Amino acid sequence: MVTAAHQHTAPGPEAPRTFPEGFLWGSATASYQIEGAAAEDGRTPSIWDTYARTPGRVRNGDTGDIATDHYHRWREDVALMADLGIGAYRFSLAWPRIQPTGRGPAAQKGLDFYRRLVDELLDKGIQPVATLYHWDLPQELEDAGGWPERATAERFAEYAALAADALGDRVKTWTTLNEPWCSAFLGYGSGVHAPGRTDPVDALRAAHHLNLAHGLAVRALRDRIPADARCSVTLNLHHLRPLTGDAADADAVRRIDALANRVFTGPMLRGAYPEDLLKDTAPLTDWSFVHDGDLREIHQPLDFLGVNYYTPTVVSRADGSGTHTSDGHGRSAHSPWPGADDVAFHQPPGETTAMGWAVDPSGLHELLGRLASDFPGLPLVITENGAAFDDYADPSGNVNDPARISYLRGHLAAVHQAIADGADVRGYFLWSLLDNFEWGYGYSKRFGAVYVDYPTGTRIPKASARWYSAVARTGVLPGA
């Protein structure tokens, strides 16, 4: 049966494609996934340290204690990027390194680490792009209630101010939050991410307080950084497709779109929560945790929207006829979708990555087109895109990863096509620079362009790193 979910064709990657002058070519990482040095220089545990130490939460009992040891190897990692000709580096600041209790003054040693890193990047001509929050909430703030509590948003604004005071003279591009959907709905709904709580109302409260944290942080940043510096947020917008052309499946798309996407884009970019979201979740909550003035605070002007895309999501109205219920975010008895238990998630057809995620560049092309038409005038940056495969070093020490090259080629062609169609896409950040700690999957999934031999910490650029390097240096995606 040909269904609506199956009718999409990827833009052809055959001819060489030249990207616009000034297009930013980057790579991305996140603090807990690469830094290690979990107890060094005053850093305290984050929710991910606690979660990873809880038996059964992370595959193989892996933790971020050592990770890729970037905290000690940062100079080597910047040199790697410089060798590859990468123009921008998106990294995140570890809140518990900068403000170990989540309150009060900054820890000098934590700030010094990021100052050294940023200075080295600037010295090598690589633009630093700093994310304030990529999921490592100080454990003390979780103990005080975490993201379902309003006070956490207020603490976040204070932390943003400390970071801006210390780094605002050298970091010109800031991102408040990375993928708040994961923080709220995987962290407090399904529990497959830290802190592992499973209450649908807490998940919605967390989403609102993350929105508020974003707005308050943008204001704190703008008060401190130069007028030409840029503020943004990164969302993992779900590109949704109905399983069939039935009205019930279109309604499943609408409902998941509200819970995955518009719960953030509504307040952040339009200044209101979508009416249908409030209605769909009314049996769970009256949303009285949204206070007067919150939406005005959240709705701050942004210089660009960061978009993370990996795969599309196919949904239908569940009818109990044996459809898949996995949505690619780990299995849990608890749903990350409050009030949407009658929506089923389906594996899209075709090739998959080692995560089991379908390879489908047409989803990125369509998503960018939708964003361009929904939010005209708002520049877009792909802040993450990439794939995990089962990479290994061969006996001569090389890592050949043709599947990743093909994935990147297809997705870059999709970005190019979206630009040709009128989307204002300014840059692309490959996830990830290095193999790293893939959250609940531990070190079992390798997303890096650079292979990491964990026992020794040795870095080996994969074939895809060399391929991406040529694209980044020339701004041309070669023909297939």
30 contacts ligand IFM (rule: CB under 6 A): yes
Among 19, 113, 431, 467, binds ligand IFM (CB under 6 A): 431
| Smallest separation (angstroms) from ligand IFM to the CB of 234 | 9
Nearer to ligand IFM, 287 or 441 (CB): 441
Of 363, 354, 243, 350, whose CA–CA distance to 310 is shortest?
363
Nearer to ligand IFM, 32 or 273 (CB): 32
Q: Which of residues 32 and 304 has its CB atom nearest to ligand IFM in the complex?
A: 32
**Treating both helix axes as pointing N-terminal to C-terminal, what angle do 70-84 and 463-474 enclose, rounded to 10 degrees?**
60
Q: Which is nearer to ligand IFM, 35 or 384 (CB)?
A: 384
Tokens of 89: 């580096």
Residue 119 CB, shortest distance to ligand IFM, in Å, is 25
Structure tokens at 233: 């947020």
The SS3 assignment for 338 reads coil
How far apart are the C-alpha atoms of 444 and 42, rounded to whole Å? 29
Minimum CB separation from ligand IFM for residue 59, in Å? 13
The 149-188 site mask, x for binding ligand IFM (CB under 6 A), equals ------------------------------x---------
Among 131, 175, 265, 308, binds ligand IFM (CB under 6 A): 308
Q: Are strands 304-308 and 380-385 parallel, antiparallel or unpaired?
A: parallel
**In the complex, minimum distance from the CB of residue 47 to ligand IFM, in angstroms, rounded to a whole number:** 14
Helical residues (DSSP H) of 101-246, grouped into ranges: 108-123, 139-143, 150-167, 180-181, 200-222
Say if CB 243 and CB 183 are below 8 A apart.
no
Q: Which is nearer to ligand IFM, 30 or 315 (CB)?
A: 30
Q: Which residue number, 107 or 237, has a Cβ lying nearer to ligand IFM?
A: 237
Question: CB burial class (10 A; 0-12, 13-18, 19+) of residue 341?
Answer: exposed
In 3D space, the residue among 95, 8, 7, 117 whose CA is nearest the CA of residue 45 turns out to be: 95
The torsion angles phi and psi of 237, rounded to 5 degrees, stand at -65, 130
Please, what is the minimum distance in Å from the beta carbon of residue 186 to ligand IFM? 11
Considering the complex, what minimum distance in angstroms separates the CB of residue 322 from ligand IFM? 28
Question: Which of these, 119, 76, 132, lies nearest to 434 by C-alpha position?
Answer: 76
Q: Which is nearer to ligand IFM, 194 or 220 (CB)?
A: 194
Q: Between the CA of residue 242 and those of 109, 252, 421, what are the distances in Å?
A: 50, 7, 24
Residues 434-473, mask of contacts with ligand IFM (x by CB under 6 A): ----x--------x--------------------------
Give the x-and-dash track for 108-147 against ligand IFM (CB under 6 A). Answer: ----------------------------------------
Decide whether 295 or 382 has the Cβ nearer to ligand IFM. 382
Q: Of 109, 378, 93, whose CA–CA distance to 217 is shortest?
A: 93
31 scored as a contact of ligand IFM (CB under 6 A): no
User: Which H or E element spans position 417?
Assistant: helix 402-420
Closest approach, Cβ 353 to ligand IFM, in A, equals 10
Say if residue 432 is preceded by a cis peptide, omega within 30 of 0: yes
**Which residue, 30 or 305, has its beta carbon nearer to ligand IFM?**
30
CB of 178 to ligand IFM, least distance (A): 6
* Active-site residue (options: 149, 158, 384, 438): 384
Q: At 208, phi and psi to the nearest 5?
A: -65, -40
- Residue found under tokens 């409050």: 338
φ, ψ for residue 27, nearest 5 deg:
-135, 160
Residue 35 contacts ligand IFM per CB under 6 A: no
Among 49, 136, 158, 384, binds ligand IFM (CB under 6 A): 384
Would you put residue 475 in left (φ > 0), alpha (ψ -120 to 50) or beta? Answer: left
Exposed, middle or buried, 1 (CB in 10 Å: 0-12/13-18/19+)? exposed
Please report how close the Cβ of residue 438 comes to ligand IFM at its closest, in angstroms: 5
**Percent helix / strand / coil, the chain, rounded to 5:** 40, 15, 45
Active-site entry in 120, 179, 366, 438? 179
Task: Answer yes or no: 179 catalytic.
Answer: yes
Angle at 346 between CA 345 and CA 348, to 5 degrees: 135
Q: How many residues of this chain bind ligand IFM (CB under 6 A)? A: 8
**Which sequence positions are flagged as catalytic?**
179, 384
Binding site for ligand IFM (CB under 6 A): 30, 33, 179, 308, 384, 431, 438, 447
